[in-house]
Amino acid sequence: MILLITNPQIKVNFIALFLQSFTKFKIGDFMSNVNITGFGDDLTINGTRLGDLSPSAHEKIELKKGGQNYKPLENVVVSHVQDSSTLICRKPDPSNVHAYIEEEVLDGLCCYSAVNQGQLNKTIVDAVVKHLTEEKLPTVPRSIRHKYMSGLLLAITSITGMDRAVPKVAGVEAPELLFKLSRRWGYQKKGISAGEAIVVAANGNFHGRTMTAISLSDDPDSRTDFGPFLSGIELVPFNDVEALQDLFERKGDKIASFLVEPIQGEAGVIVPDKDYFKKVSALCKEYNILLAMDEVQTGFGRTGSNFAHQLFDVKPDIIGCGKAAGGGILPVSFVAGSDEVIGTLTPGSEGSTFGGYPLGAVAAIFAIKVLEDEKLAENARIRGSQLMNHFEDIMNEFPDKIKEVRGKGLLTAFEMYNEPYLNGHKVSVNLMNNGVYAKETHHSTVRIAPALTIQAWQIDNLAEAIRKVIKEL
């Protein structure tokens, strides 16, 4: 239908009304309504001041406004860091006079090994602040070189003993690139027919949450309703040389790599037999298969050696690192490996907007400096031995409750018998109430992985808290 308006005044009014309505619709439809003021506890978003929120109020906001992909400990919110191993946490005020009270809590998890150098390590913080204030070069794209890239590559290849490195950002980018490099090397160097390359992984692994990572996984929580998954993947039991050899014998001509954690962290700190990787390495060489190791959680001194593969006296073809690579200050990850493998990359075949960005490069360089200068691997080995001795005493004291203790360095765990009243979540909550932050995995296992700067007396206090909680179960 065509509306014909002949009266000039009516026409003008109609057009004005039409444009007004159209404009209001378009602008109103896309305008936000956000008012942000203040900083710290005074930070206020649309009238909600963070310093006024109780732990339960924080929880309600997250439940309503966030995705439920994590299950944090109830009734506790981290406020700030007191020192390298101590968090200040807000808990409900038992008197109900205030919204919360603040208490010291020993960090027994260290952001899943992302803060090996300790919270707010002065050397790393000073370097980052100085870089921002004096060098004034936070980031530039990879389409132009910056001077700190050279420093980062020299530091990474020196500490890992590898030929080349590819800087990335998120931890999961490291195993993602391990996977891609495995396939590319398989096609270009080994001569696997196009589209037929196989990457082998271990049951119980955790390589992250990307589609590649969960395609490698057998964890139903990670995989349910996310399929279809990547093809060209085979799984074998971890710490089973015979199963790996059998697979290599049957499909070795199509297998590009065995992508594996030297110690499985998320699975509950599963440590393989001492000679496992020696045999694995020999098999990989025999069948011309890459040994690709995910050191995201086990690297940077965590296990009592700079990298966990060194504990088993093997040298992988490629390794992936993250977490502590940024010193707990900035997200940094990388893949390091041989000329033959990393040399398969060409311009445009791989990239990352912030991979190797100047500020991240500085953080990583000084994270490596701290690892060496402060002898973190050595302290992890000494303090880890002290903690394991405590664990064994606790297991002997409560043989009906503690099934097994496991670990290397300061990557440790104790596993309880899988009974309803011995669940790991209850232990984690009770530990928090006794001044220690830890978190369960797989119901009955609790990981303990504090900062590598931790002192002997703190280990004693941590162990005593665990003993008390286990006794009261």
Q: Can 294 be counted among the known catalytic residues?
A: yes
Q: Can 64 be counted among the known catalytic residues?
A: no
- pLDDT of 71-114, one tens digit each? 999 999 999 999 999 999 999 999 999 999 999 999 999 999 99
Domain that holds residue 77: 36-107
Q: Can 14 be counted among the known catalytic residues?
A: no
Task: Please report, rounded to a whole number, the percentage of residues in the chain having pLDDT higher than 90.
Answer: 92
Pairing of β 318-321 and β 333-337: antiparallel
DSSP 295: -
Q: For residues 103 and 180, state if they share a domain.
A: no
60-78: average pLDDT: 95
311-339: average pLDDT: 98
Q: Does residue 7 lie within any of the structural domains?
A: no
* Whole-Å CA distances, 38 to 35, 48, 331, 469: 10, 11, 26, 40
Q: Does residue 56 lie within any of the structural domains?
A: yes
- pLDDT of 126-168, one tens digit each? 999 999 999 999 999 999 999 999 999 999 999 999 999 999 9
Q: Does residue 204 lie within any of the structural domains?
A: yes
Which among 367, 361, 372, 323 has a CA at the least distance from the CA of 151?
361
Q: For residues 296 and 411, state if they share a domain.
A: no
Q: For residues 384 and 449, state if they share a domain.
A: yes
Q: For residues 174 and 322, state if they share a domain.
A: yes
Q: Does residue 113 lie within any of the structural domains?
A: no
Other beta carbons within 10 angstroms of residue 225's beta carbon come to: 4
Q: Please tell me whether residue 117 adopts helix, strand or coil conformation.
A: coil
Geometric angle at alpha carbon 411, from 407 and 415, rounded to 5°: 55
Q: Which of 206, 238, 248, 277 is catalytic?
A: 206
Residue 3 pLDDT:
47
Other beta carbons within 10 angstroms of residue 401's beta carbon come to: 18
- pLDDT of 247-269, one tens digit each? 999 999 999 999 999 999 999 99
**In 200-328, where does DSSP find H-type helix?**
211-216, 220-223, 241-251, 276-286
pTM of the model: 0.92
Q: Which of 323, 401, 408, 439 is catalytic?
A: 323
Q: Looking at residue 159, which CATH number applies to its domain? A: 3.40.640.10
Amino acid 169 reads V
Number of domain units in the chain:
3
Residues written for the chain: 473
Q: Does residue 168 lie within any of the structural domains?
A: yes
| Rounded (10°) CA dihedral 164, 168, 173, 176 | -30
Q: For residues 206 and 297, state if they share a domain.
A: yes
Q: Which of 179, 248, 277, 294 is catalytic?
A: 294
66 CB-near residues (< 8 Å, 6+ apart): none
**For residue 169, is pLDDT > 60?**
yes
Q: State the residue for tokens 């949450």.
A: 209
Residue 30 pLDDT:
65
Q: Does residue 15 lie within any of the structural domains?
A: no
**For residue 320, is pLDDT > 50?**
yes
Query: Cis omega (within 30 of 0) on the bond before 237?
Result: no
Q: Which of 69-73, 320-324, 434-438 has the lowest mean pLDDT?
A: 69-73
Q: For residues 99 and 137, state if they share a domain.
A: no
Other beta carbons within 10 angstroms of residue 369's beta carbon come to: 17
Q: Does residue 212 lie within any of the structural domains?
A: yes
**For residue 29, is pLDDT > 70?**
no
290-317: average pLDDT: 98
